[in-house]
Structure 1
């Protein structure tokens, strides 16, 4: 007898299929502290795009605490020179970013409004920069503008009124100072005024000497004068032309020494405000310098960046004076 097996009515389910791609992590599943650490490492231009990801990221990126953290996190990254010049064809002002190490131009853009397309008679100056913000002014005192080159945002600062001086005195603005007050976590602009009596006077000495470096405490809002080194200390006449600039967050003084023909520069650093004895000689540059030279800053590998009247930039290796 042949036996027959009855077939089963059971339906077997197919074997599960596994996707080869990993599941994507949603933005709202990303821990906030991890998101902060990732965003802190990104450049500003990327943060501007990521503000549109979601409301949470917009609130995070625009929050003042995150702005301070991002600034502190990126403070030690490679700095840039910001230089301005007139376009030869249009005579409009352009701003260029230069690498601090190679002097290569990374970006050139026009001046922001209200300075873009302004009257050609107006000269525009970069009066200072701090924490990525740039303070712009002009020779006619038309505007004072705070500009963020990374976000392209600008803010026109309200005009300040000059206090009343005795009748007959001539008052003029000689410059602006721009800095950050750590006590209030805010920025301050200092207007420097010059007033003089129109009556003539006589200078008894044949030369006008430097009295010292005038510094301003942003928090206490007080001035401090630091005398320059004595002539016997730096070994040159007091009437040598001097140029002051910032070098590694310290006040630096370049003394131009020329007897005949080419000249050289002695670079001094002020290590402590108000202390005359804290002036320390850093290095001598030259002696084969020619023309009018102005110091721009100090880079790695013992190099100093210089510019001349024609707007050309160059770098030189610093050699200690023997």
Structure 2
């Protein structure tokens, strides 16, 4: 789990429990340790380490979701190679892999994973690929021999399956691909490793990652309870709520930021007292020609995009977009004590 869970064994076990992974639910012991064993060094002297418990085991079965990374593009991004290089490297291995900056991470993921495949007791890997509705689409078994190359076509499939906001690429002559306001109800580790997936928002932490959408203002309203206080991703918003800030565990966020070397992800944007004032702030400052008619979308999170709210100014474009069905009528945003009264269960009724 790299540096997740505050980079402590207890924190990582607690994070798993929040996600429903317990000894009772899976029917076997869960052992957690931050101790690692060095299995070798790269040509530049960089230490390659693996979890001590995995090193002591009779065999290692890798398991991970294969998906695009949030900070770089490479033949192998988030998947079995990354789990082997960073996840099983624990905090010390993750820190080493990130030590030369985010742009070098895919180089070291490849080198470290290959060394561990050669020197550790990896049996095989299980990769999962999801569809655009956060559902399991495919399970693949990969032999240890040629695992990194075999994983690459499934990354392409996962990228094609990803959900997207219903917008085309930015067109300088029209409003296409440009959004005045995006409201994200909830950010969290169960939605994305970065809390709010930049593959959806097109707000990347790496300057080398260029998005094809432009969102003028973004408000993040809440931090999911399952995140255990890890508010990683809040920094990519322009405005957050006081409730999100109060749920923000600096120790957990800082551990991630220091390990990844991306300190910007630990920042907190402007904080507003409640959801109403946060939404008002992003509308007021979005730069729309008419702030009473902003091009605005509201989503539940960056993982579940099957349903969304759209402002009146978006309707002409959305009516003509393939795959989009307008299922409700125009209505004012409703608040109760400054909190949005419209919840997602209601929108699906």
TM-score range, shorter chain: under 0.3
- Structure number with larger C-alpha Rg: 1
* Relative contact order higher in (CA < 8 Å, ≥ 6 apart): 2
The structure in which a higher percent of residues are helix is 2
